[in-house]
Structure 1
Amino acid sequence: MMLKALFICVASSLLVVNDGNIIHRCTLAKILYEEDLDGFEGYSLPDWLCLAFVESNFNISKVNENVDGSFDYGIFQINSRYWCNDYQSHSENFCHVDCQELLSPNLISSIHCAKKIMSGSGGMKNWVEWKLHCLGRPLSYWMTGCHLR
């Protein structure tokens, strides 16, 4: 387990900014902390970091097309069918946001929408990848080397 944690720390350190769309793990932790996500709906910063990693590999501008024709946007891969308007398909747009805003480097729209998703039933279980790779696992190593203040 220690080897796995070391690998993830080293791998995410290499992601410092090889591409302008990748956010460093500790930079993301600081932003999430400043936006009061530590403990939000019972989830810790390591939960949020694990979510961002398994969904987008910390890629702020990731867009993924789904088999149903909807798209997932941004660092948390927020779906266009329910949460944002991509102007390509029908959307409930529960977050009242343009999907392109979820690709912004300031992350505020993504964070606000993710909080709305989290506030509904299911919490982080709404993200399949989080359920598969983060739920019930020790996650504290995601904060290794990060200084929030």
Structure 2
Amino acid sequence: MTRALFISLLSCLVAINQAHLISRCDLAKVLYQEDLDKFEGYSLSDWLCLAFVESNFNISKVNENTDGSFDYGIFQINSHYWCNDHQSHSENICHVECQELLNPNLLSTIHCAKKIVSRAGGMKNWASWNTHCSGRPLSYWMTGCLLG
């Protein structure tokens, strides 16, 4: 019994260590430095809300979809359209390897997210942003974050 409990606990710790989380304010700073505030009319609060509802600020999150595609990184960018994961057909509109969207420096992710938002629909291209962030007061996402 003790051995089973130990193995279970160890499995949980390994899973936690595989997640690469970024704090809300640290993400706000990176997004601000990369000129995402007011990009295509979206505030930093919109971006923070998107990152929270998509990945809970987990840079290393990968999620498999029912169609066989995968979503990658903090914004859960889909492999069918935006990146190449070498597992499924991809349009690879961002011209990036999906694994690069898991990089903690976030530059490839931000570059791709800008392409997505610049297209028709803007942030509505993310169903979760549309459901949980669009049309809602979001200024609290920046509470306590100092940019500068």
TM range (shorter): 0.7 to 0.9
1:7 counterpart residue number:
none
1:78 counterpart residue number:
77
Cα distance between partner residues in 1 of 2:110 and 2:142: 19
1:138 counterpart residue number:
137
2:117 counterpart residue number:
118
Residue 105 of structure 1 deviates from its aligned partner by 0.1
Residue 29 of structure 1 deviates from its aligned partner by 0.1
1:25 counterpart residue number:
24
2:128 counterpart residue number:
129
- Secondary structure of the residue aligned to 1:101 is helix
TM-score where L is the length of structure 2: 0.88
- Secondary structure of the residue aligned to 2:113 is helix
Residue 49 of structure 1 deviates from its aligned partner by 0.1
- Secondary structure of the residue aligned to 1:26 is helix
Larger Cα Rg: Structure 1 or Structure 2? 2
Which structure 2 segments of 5+ residues have no match?
A: 1-15
2:68 counterpart residue number:
69
Cα distance between partner residues in 1 of 2:88 and 2:71: 12
- Secondary structure of the residue aligned to 1:111 is helix
Residue 100 of structure 1 deviates from its aligned partner by 0.1
CA RMSD of aligned residues (A): 0.9
Cα distance between partner residues in 1 of 2:121 and 2:115: 11
Residue 116 of structure 1 deviates from its aligned partner by 0.3
Residue type of the alignment partner of 1:45: L
Query: Does 1:90 pair with 2:89?
Result: yes
- Count of residue pairs brought into register by the alignment: 132
Residue type of the alignment partner of 1:123: G
1:60 counterpart residue number:
59
Residue 81 of structure 1 deviates from its aligned partner by 0.1
Residue type of the alignment partner of 1:65: E
Residue 114 of structure 1 deviates from its aligned partner by 0.2
2:33 counterpart residue number:
34
- Secondary structure of the residue aligned to 1:53 is helix
Residue type of the alignment partner of 1:44: S
- Secondary structure of the residue aligned to 1:40 is coil
- Secondary structure of the residue aligned to 2:71 is strand
TM-score where L is the length of structure 1: 0.87
Residue type of the alignment partner of 2:116: I
